[in-house]
Amino acid sequence: MLGFNKISDNTPDELLMKFIAKGDRKSFEMLYNRYFEKLTWYAYGFVAEQQRAEDIVQDVFVKVIERPQMFDETRKFSTWVYTVTANACRNSIRDEQNRSRLMREHIMPHHSAQVDIHHRADYRILKDCISSIFAELNEKEKNIYLLRFEQELSIKEVAAVMNIPEGSVKSGIYYLLRKFAYHLKDFTNGK
């Protein structure tokens, strides 16, 4: 069966994609197991909902198995799959924004959300503050934050995924840290 029995935990992602293109289920399962959790965390950074993030990543893997020829064999698989996931997240966010706008305009014009802050712990307040800072970041800053701090990719890997120079990633990280430090100064002892 075309060397599929030679697949191991060390088989490169790109070779697994070649096997997937030839119908090998075990290769797909290996890639899925390697990347599902990482990609879900990455997608969660965009959409901020666990189930929605999992659904997006599931859709990405459906594309991988249904159309493996979409993968450009000249690229690194991890770079490609993160890019595909980021695009899927952007599409999902855009679709959700359109649905929300239609809901506001036509279905629920008087709906307002109520927030109970009396029972929140300091951790939740901090988390909300970080989420608020994150929401104000531009797309490039969000990508750098998610890839470097959530996915723990190296600067070189972040640069490859985002298709920007490593120096841009480094300066982006520097400015991100300054921005977070400024907004979170009330949570530190040194104010």
Q: According to the model, what pLDDT value does residue 49 have?
A: 92
Q: Which range of residues forms the domain containing residue 37? A: 10-112
The CATH number given to whatever domain includes residue 34 is 1.10.1740.10
Q: What is the pLDDT of residue 122?
A: 65
Query: Are 119 and 87 within one domain?
Result: no
Residues 104 and 151 in one domain: no
Q: Which of 82, 112, 142 is the last residue of a domain?
A: 112
Mark whether 96 and 118 lie in a shared domain: no
Q: Which amino acid makes up residue 146? A: L
pLDDT on residue 119: 40
Q: Is 135 helix (H, G, I), strand (E, B) or coil?
A: helix
Query: Which class for 183: exposed (0-12), middle (13-18), buried (19 or more C-beta within 10 A)?
Result: middle
Nearest residue to 3 via CA among 25, 19, 21: 19
pLDDT value, residue 117: 43
Q: Please identify, among 112, 138, 154, the residue that sits at the C-terminal boundary of a domain.
A: 112
pLDDT given at position 152: 84
Q: What pLDDT sits at residue 77?
A: 94
Q: How many domains does the chain have?
A: 2
Give the whole-angstrom CA distance, residue 9 versus residue 19: 14
The helices-and-strands tally (H runs, E runs) of the chain is 8, 0
Q: Are residues 119 and 91 in the same domain?
A: no
* Rounded distance between C-alpha atoms, residue 4 and residue 20, angstroms: 10
- Say if CB 162 and CB 140 are below 8 A apart: yes
Domain match, 65 and 143 both? no
The per-residue pLDDT string of the chain (191 residues; one tens digit each, 9 = 90 and over) reads 445 557 888 999 999 999 999 989 999 999 999 999 999 999 999 999 999 999 999 999 999 988 999 898 888 999 999 999 999 999 999 888 877 777 666 655 444 444 344 444 566 777 778 888 888 888 888 888 888 888 888 889 999 999 999 888 888 888 888 888 888 777 665 44
Q: What is the pLDDT of residue 114?
A: 40
Same domain, 108 and 121: no
User: Model pTM?
Assistant: 0.58
CATH number at residue 136: 1.10.10.10
Cβ(48)–Cβ(105) under 8 Å? no
User: Would 108 be classed as within a structural domain?
Assistant: yes
Q: Is 73 helix (H, G, I), strand (E, B) or coil?
A: coil
